[in-house]
Amino acid sequence: MKKIIVTGASGFIGRQAVRQLVAIGWEVHAFCYPSVPDEPEGAHWHVVNLLDPQEMRKAVAALGATHLLHLAWYVEHGKYWAALENFRWVAATLALAEDFRKAGGLHMVGAGTLAEYDWNFGYLRENETPMVPSTVYGQCKYNTFSLLSSYAAASGMRLAWGRVFYLYGPHEGPARLVSSIVINLLKGQFAQCTHGRQVRSFLHVADVARAFVCLCEQEVSGAFNIGSGETVALRQIAEFIGSELGAESLLRIGALSARTDEPPVLLPDIRRLSGEALWRPEFDIKSGLRDTINWWKRNLPV
């Protein structure tokens, strides 16, 4: 049985990844902080502060895991793009990689972001598009990948890096695009949107987690875009949700101003992910949005 540490295990992607890894027979050690959430059956939960070097080193050394899926980072909505906490997570991630390798670790998978790329290019390819991050978050993620790649080459550890594009699904923060529209419409409130002409790639969080699981299972190396092969305008997402809930009249398309620096198109080339990591999605955009709507119907915040 393969033994894996999953950091950020109680997070948006992490909870899905833990569940999937347990289901296919991995021995999963789920790191979370500050407390253990409802536990998916079969996972071993550990409360570990990854920003405490001694605590992290002790926890990693005790397990001797062969694989590491590192999802933890600072991601507070509306703040993480420019937050100084990003720099702390660069240091913590590099220390984690070294502790993991010293404990016998062989294969590390990390979570990157589309924000590592130069957004002047609308179609983003792992080995072709220039890496010119425009935010602190993107720069820190890219620098982390670069340093980890050098460490992996020098130490003999394998490294895969999944650059996540736009995602949605159960347990998403209520201020995010899809969840905010669904919540407002379920409550009978107006859902304010921009013009919605921005073209993006949206992927259900379970399929994002499945991509990370594939990067672990196939033991591939290098950077991989994690996104959907479908393209969709933001307006189409809002209108589909409105139609599913019979609440089209509550949509306010164009009520919000779009950011002037927002690119009209941001799409991933996912051929590496599907070809080398053997990843296939379970949801298309319509079935994924329906799944998300049904989850919010059961978990609508007061």
The 10s digit of each residue's pLDDT in 146-190 is 999 999 999 999 999 999 999 999 999 999 999 999 999 999 999
The Cα–Cα gap between 238 and 200 comes to: 13
Hey, CA dihedral for 204, 273, 234, 141, is it positive or negative? positive
State yes or no: pLDDT of 295 exceeds 80. Answer: yes
Overall average pLDDT of the 40-61 stretch = 95
Q: Report the predicted TM-score, pTM, of the whole model to 2 decimal places.
A: 0.97
Overall average pLDDT of the 10-16 stretch = 97
- Tell the CATH topology of 169-200+230-267+283-298: UDP-galactose 4-epimerase; domain 1 (3.90.25)
Residue with tokens 């919000």: 256
How is the chain split into domains, by residue range?
3-167+203-228+272-276, 169-200+230-267+283-298
Per-residue model confidence as pLDDT tens digits over 117-137 = 999 999 999 999 999 999 999
Which of the listed CATH numbers 3.30.390.30, 3.40.50.720, 3.40.50.300, 3.10.20.880 matches domain 3-167+203-228+272-276? 3.40.50.720
What phi and psi, each to the nearest 5 degrees, are found at residue 142? -70, -40
Burial 184-208 (b: 16+ CB within 10 A, else e): bbbeeeebbbbebebbbbbbbbbbb
The Cα–Cα gap between 45 and 57 comes to: 16
CB 110 within 8 A of CB 164: no
Report the pLDDT value the prediction gives residue 112, as an integer from 0 to 100: 98
Per-residue model confidence as pLDDT tens digits over 268-290 = 999 999 999 999 999 999 999 99
Average pLDDT of the chain, as a whole number = 97
Q: Say which residues have a Cβ less than 8 Å from residue 207's Cβ, sequence separation at least 6.
A: 228, 281, 282, 283, 288
What phi and psi, each to the nearest 5 degrees, are found at residue 232? -150, 140
Per-residue model confidence as pLDDT tens digits over 185-205 = 999 999 999 999 999 999 999
Report the pLDDT value the prediction gives residue 94, as an integer from 0 to 100: 98
> Please, which residues bridge with residue 108 across strands?
68, 159
Report the pLDDT value the prediction gives residue 40, as an integer from 0 to 100: 73
State yes or no: pLDDT of 21 exceeds 90. Answer: yes
State yes or no: pLDDT of 37 exceeds 80. Answer: yes
Q: Which amino acid is at 299?
A: N
Per-residue model confidence as pLDDT tens digits over 73-84 = 999 999 999 999
Overall average pLDDT of the 92-113 stretch = 98
